[in-house]
């Protein structure tokens, strides 16, 4: 493995340096038919799941085949997509914001050949390489984050959880039988670099133990004031401690921090600022499910997703409880919602209390908001509610401990 | 032979959805065989070791990646995220495994020629593993060693005329929907807006000078396919202010069942024949539609442009011709102070090149945020802390009823001193002449 220089000279980093050039102009990458009809499209139709047809003022028609991709991919997989684009699409392709690939062709003949080709391509283990689907009133691909493959703060894996949920719901990636589109998103910790907070269903990795403190090293590895300031609930404060040194065995005084554990809501912001405060834990970490969000302004305003399942344990490699729980929510939605109703619109129409009944989900204090101002607005300030079967609502039957003891 | 046994990951090979494990395993073997004799610049077993460390996480149920560390390319403060494995002796191939964000072309169209070059570069100087795309929109190169960062950057800029994206307390890589390139509803050229702002603000994108991250996203219409209202500090969402265009003949064709509703999006459901009253008129959020003498009538003055009727009857209805965008500000995920969606600041702006009005607005907002924002405070949180009126003040915009869903619930009105006759400096002695102690 001999080092091969690109031409960069480390002695003189500014020599021939090109910077601040930004991205390439999209105009260089548009397929000819797209370029020709730019801004002149007049209508579209979904010919079948995964196949779109767009009509332009000029009379031109472009057919798009949408396929799911794993987001995390190798150059070999990507090259295969490029081979397909070379064979059928004049050397162009595009990607959607939800990790799908779109192949565009200008005739029905090419469309049929392209579809046939895509359907035949499988990985050695049998999974589809380029499953066609993800359109209309069905399930599209799950947008997600890195998880255990590449991130330092995840509470679960991303690619693995997405794979099992997409396997579970695969049929609906290739069908359009839902009342409206269903958008599932996945973020592997509360930092939500996947911003899943407005999704029909969100899968969210969540820690449940406050950070540990690496007292002997924290002052060397971290700016303690930054770790203190990073805590949104003011649970971290500076603290001098006397400890027995791991290195010398002697008692030493160190500058460290103290965490008010009862205040911690496990966001991991301290750890993001300070690697000496790890919080990942094989027993503590798991998954939260949120539901009922959307970003579209259609019929109703965009909505935040609501927490509907407080905790699902990490069960690699196939997370069966996660897949089963999402299946239950999707089935109840499909059964109960009216045409055009997104999941959140349906839940609001029937009432969130009814949602828990029809989805057969547990309820506990974890699902009642207690974080700052918005909390009050989520409690019920009306006598309008529904009596539902699976929860006690009569005073003497409600008595009990709210704490769910760990097993 | 694979370098590591991966019995847990192997259970993710089955099932119909594309298996990332199968892809990685196939590629690990390809890399070992190296049929094209690539002189890999990082260890050839990088993919094997990635599978190994991921398998270990599946056993331990904890990640094995460490905090970043400061790595990057000379003169930039973003675009590279440092990553190290916490078991480097077991998995030396991924001991360094840094991420590079590559600023995607707007709308995510590519030529195969460009991407083939990218694949070759990344196979040669990195792991050959990437994301198409990362959450913010960049192409993401996953995994290379520190000494390759400058080399990759040099080749990207010299051979591919291509720059890195943003990370850290920078302007993040702007992103947009596919816009006018293939959508009849785009109310402005989202790709051009994203492109021009990306280039205008290269300094802000590469050199961290902000309190925290800042995102622009450009949606062509209120369907918000790129989720700008949920994810961008500055959300630009296409809209129009004249009348929805109606083709009455096509309306009849929908009513007669000649055209499937909603672009045939409900083809596999058992929804019965299309009913314009039930499916369009009754679902209109403002009730501004009706049938009159067999024709669809829209009271456009009361339309809020939610897109539902247009979505259901794309061949009969189209957005108006006087198009532009609504500008909303302040969206973010929950960290630190809870999730926020963007709030409406400017109901309508013409989105014409070179987008000077938008740039003026952005720069006024940035000046304020950089002056007043605390470390790691997003714009939305600053607006909450200082009040919406401060945002209006610094952007020089008048308050209008569209700014609120409803007026304030409490009467704790903060008057400015200059709004009250005589100001706030009073003489207690004069007061006491009228009111004895």
Q: What is the DSSP string of A125-190?
A: TS-BSS-B---SSSB-PPB---GGGT-SS-SS-SHHHHHHHHHHTHHHHS---SSS-B-EEEESST
Residue A389's pLDDT is 86
Residue A324: HSE in the Cβ half-sphere, 13 Å Cα cutoff = 9
Most A CBs within 10 A among B107, B135, B220, hence the mutation to make, goes to B135
Cross-chain Cβ contact B162/A49 below 8 Å: no
Residue B175's pLDDT is 97
pLDDT in tens, A123-157: 999 999 999 999 999 999 999 999 999 999 999 99
Residue B69's pLDDT is 72
Cross-chain Cβ contact A316/B264 below 8 Å: no
Nearest-Cα distance to chain A for B418, in Å, is 31
Residues paired with B291 in a beta bridge: B296
d(CA A133, CA A128): 12
Closest CB to B180: pick one of A38, A68, A191: A38
Residue B340's pLDDT is 95
Nearest-Cα distance to chain B for A166, in Å, is 6
Show residues of chain B in contact with A176, CB under 8 Å: 264-269
Nearest-Cα distance to chain B for A319, in Å, is 11
Residue A194's pLDDT is 76
Cross-chain Cβ contact B9/A181 below 8 Å: no
Residue A192's pLDDT is 85
Spatial neighbors of A148 by CB under 8 A, at least 6 apart, are: A154, A156, A157, A158, A160, A188, B54, B57, B58, B63, B64, B65
The CATH classification of domain B7-159, taken from the options 3.40.50.2000, 3.30.70.2500, 3.40.710.10, 3.90.226.30: 3.30.70.2500
Cross-chain Cβ contact B333/A124 below 8 Å: no
Residue A280's pLDDT is 95
pLDDT band at residue B146, thresholds of 50, 70 and 90? very high
Cross-chain Cβ contact A97/B61 below 8 Å: no
Domain coordinates in residue numbering, chain B: 7-159, 175-238+327-403, 245-318
Cross-chain Cβ contact A197/B334 below 8 Å: yes
Helix axes B388-395, B356-372, angle to 10 degrees: 130
Closest CB to A43: pick one of B13, B314, B341: B314
pLDDT above 70 as % of chain B: 100
Tokens of B432: 């006491």
Show residues of chain A in contact with B125, CB under 8 Å: 6
Level-2 CATH architecture, domain B245-318: 2-Layer Sandwich (3.30)
The stretch B129-146 carries a mean pLDDT of 96
Residue A311's pLDDT is 97
Four-point Cα dihedral A44, A45, A50, A54, nearest 10: -30
B175-238+327-403: what fold? Sulfite Reductase Hemoprotein; domain 1 (3.30.413)
Strand, helix or coil at B332?
Answer: strand
Most B CBs within 10 A among A58, A101, A135, A195, hence the mutation to make, goes to A195
Most A CBs within 10 A among B36, B181, B254, B325, hence the mutation to make, goes to B181
Angle made by CA atoms B359, B379, B224, in degrees to the nearest 5: 70
Residue B82 · residue B70 · CB < 8 Å: yes
- Which chain B residue has the Cα nearest residue A268? B335
Residue A407's pLDDT is 78
Same fold, B7-159 and B245-318: yes
Cross-chain Cβ contact B109/A30 below 8 Å: yes
Size of interface A-B (CB pairs under 8 A): 438
The pLDDT of residue B336 is above 80? no
Residue stretches of chain A with pLDDT short of 70: none
Residue B76 · residue B102 · CB < 8 Å: no
Residue B273 · residue B257 · CB < 8 Å: yes
Q: Report the complex ipTM.
A: 0.96
pLDDT band at residue B63, thresholds of 50, 70 and 90? very high
Which has the closest alpha carbon to B31: B40, B21, B19? B40
- What is the DSSP code (8-state) at residue B241? S
Q: Do β-strands A286-291 and A306-313 pair in parallel, antiparallel, or remain unpaired? A: antiparallel
Q: Compute φ and ψ for A307, nearest 5 degrees.
A: -75, 120
Residue B261's pLDDT is 97
d(CA A367, CA A355): 13
The mean of the pLDDT values for chain B is 97
Cross-chain Cβ contact A149/B142 below 8 Å: yes
Closest CB to A298: pick one of B306, B337, B375: B306
d(CA A50, CA B265): 10
Closest CB to A152: pick one of B16, B67, B375: B67
d(CA A384, CA A6): 69
Helix axes B190-200, B356-372, angle to 10 degrees: 50
Residue B153's pLDDT is 98
Residues paired with A43 in a beta bridge: A55
Nearest-Cα distance to chain A for B183, in Å, is 6
């Amino acid at each position: 493995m001999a080092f091969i220089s690109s031409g960069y000279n480390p002695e003189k980093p500014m020599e021939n340096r090109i910077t601040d050039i930004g991205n390439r102009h999209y105009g260089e990458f548009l397929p000819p038919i797209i370029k020709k009809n730019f801004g002149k499209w007049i209508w579209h139709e979904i010919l079948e799941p995964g196949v779109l047809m767009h009509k332009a003022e000029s009379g031109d028609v472009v057919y798009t085949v949408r396929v799911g991709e794993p987001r995390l991919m190798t150059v070999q997989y990507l090259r295969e997509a490029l081979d397909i684009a070379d064979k059928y699409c004049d050397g162009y392709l595009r990607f959607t914001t939800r990790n799908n690939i779109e192949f565009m062709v200008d005739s029905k003949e090419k469309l049929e050949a392209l579809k046939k080709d895509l359907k035949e391509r499988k990985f050695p283990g049998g999974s589809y390489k380029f499953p066609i689907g993800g359109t209309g009133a069905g399930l599209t691909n799950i947008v997600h984050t890195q998880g255990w493959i590449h991130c330092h703060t995840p509470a679960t894996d991303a690619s693995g959880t997405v794979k099992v949920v997409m396997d579970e719901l695969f049929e609906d990636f290739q069908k359009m039988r839902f009342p409206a589109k269903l958008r599932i998103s996945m973020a592997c910790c509360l930092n939500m670099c996947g911003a899943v907070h407005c999704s029909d269903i969100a899968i969210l990795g969540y820690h449940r133990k406050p950070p540990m403190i690496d007292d002997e090293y924290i002052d060397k590895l971290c700016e303690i004031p930054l770790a203190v300031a990073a805590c949104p609930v003011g649970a971290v404060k500076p603290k001098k401690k006397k400890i027995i040194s791991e290195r010398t065995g002697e008692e030493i005084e160190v500058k460290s921090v103290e965490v008010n554990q009862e205040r911690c809501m496990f966001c991991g912001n301290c750890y993001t600022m300070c690697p000496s405060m790890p919080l990942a834990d094989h027993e503590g970490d798991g998954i939260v499910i949120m539901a009922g969000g959307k970003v579209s302004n259609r019929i109703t305003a965009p909505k935040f997703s609501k927490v509907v399942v407080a905790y699902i344990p990490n069960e690699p490699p196939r997370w069966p409880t996660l897949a089963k729980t999402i299946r239950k929510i999707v089935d109840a939605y499909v059964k109960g919602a009216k045409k055009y109703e997104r999941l959140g619109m349906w839940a609001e129409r029937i009432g969130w209390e009814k949602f828990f009944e029809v989805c057969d989900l547990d309820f506990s204090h974890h699902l009642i908001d207690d974080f700052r101002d918005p909390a009050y607005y989520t409690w019920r300030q009306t006598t309008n509610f529904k009596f539902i079967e699976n929860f006690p609502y009569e005073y003497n039957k409600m008595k009990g401990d709210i704490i769910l003891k760990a097993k | 032979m694979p370098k590591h046994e991966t019995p847990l990951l192997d259970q993710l090979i089955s099932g119909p959805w594309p298996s990332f494990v199968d892809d990685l395993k196939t590629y690990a073997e390809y890399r070992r065989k190296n049929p094209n004799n690539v002189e890999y610049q990082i260890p050839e077993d990088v993919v094997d070791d990635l599978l190994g460390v991921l398998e270990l996480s599946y056993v331990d149920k904890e990640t094995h990646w460490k905090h970043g560390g400061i790595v990057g390319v000379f003169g930039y403060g973003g675009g590279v995220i440092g990553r190290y494995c916490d078991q480097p002796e077991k998995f030396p191939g991924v001991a360094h495994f840094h991420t590079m964000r590559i600023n995607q072309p707007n709308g995510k169209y590519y030529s195969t020629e460009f991407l083939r070059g990218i694949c070759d570069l990344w196979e040669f100087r990195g792991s050959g593993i990437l994301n198409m795309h990362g959450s913010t929109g960049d192409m993401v190169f996953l995994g290379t060693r520190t000494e390759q960062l400058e080399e990759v950057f040099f080749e990207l800029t010299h051979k591919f005329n291509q720059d890195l994206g943003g990370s850290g307390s920078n302007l993040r890589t702007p992103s947009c929907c596919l816009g006018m390139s293939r959508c009849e509803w785009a109310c402005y050229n989202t790709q051009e807006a994203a492109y021009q702002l990306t280039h205008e603000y290269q300094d802000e994108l590469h050199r961290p000078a902000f309190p925290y991250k800042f995102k622009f996203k450009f949606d062509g219409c209120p369907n918000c396919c790129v989720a700008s209202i949920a994810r961008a500090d500055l959300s630009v969402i296409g809209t129009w202010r004249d009348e929805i265009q109606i083709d009455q003949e096509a309306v009849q064709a929908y009513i007669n069942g000649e055209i499937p509703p909603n672009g045939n999006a409900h083809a596999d459901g058992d929804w019965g024949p299309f009913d314009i009253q039930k499916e369009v008129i009754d679902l209109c959020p403002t009730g501004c539609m009706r049938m009159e003498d067999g024709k669809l009538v829209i009271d456009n003055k009361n339309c809020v442009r939610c897109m539902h009727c247009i979505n259901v009857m794309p061949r009969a209805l189209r957005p108006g011709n006087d198009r532009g965008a609504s500008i909303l500000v302040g969206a973010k995920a929950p960290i630190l102070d809870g999730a926020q969606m963007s709030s409406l600041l400017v109901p309508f702006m013409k989105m014409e090149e070179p987008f000077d009005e938008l740039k003026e607005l952005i720069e006024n907002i940035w000046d304020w945020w950089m002056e007043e924002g605390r470390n790691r405070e997003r714009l939305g949180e600053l607006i909450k802390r200082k009040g919406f009126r401060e945002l209006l003040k610094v952007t020089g915009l008048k308050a209008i009823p569209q700014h609120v869903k409803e007026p304030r619930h409490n009467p704790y009105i903060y008057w400015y001193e200059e709004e009250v006759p005589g100001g706030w400096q009073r003489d207690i002695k004069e007061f006491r002449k009228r009111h004895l102690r």
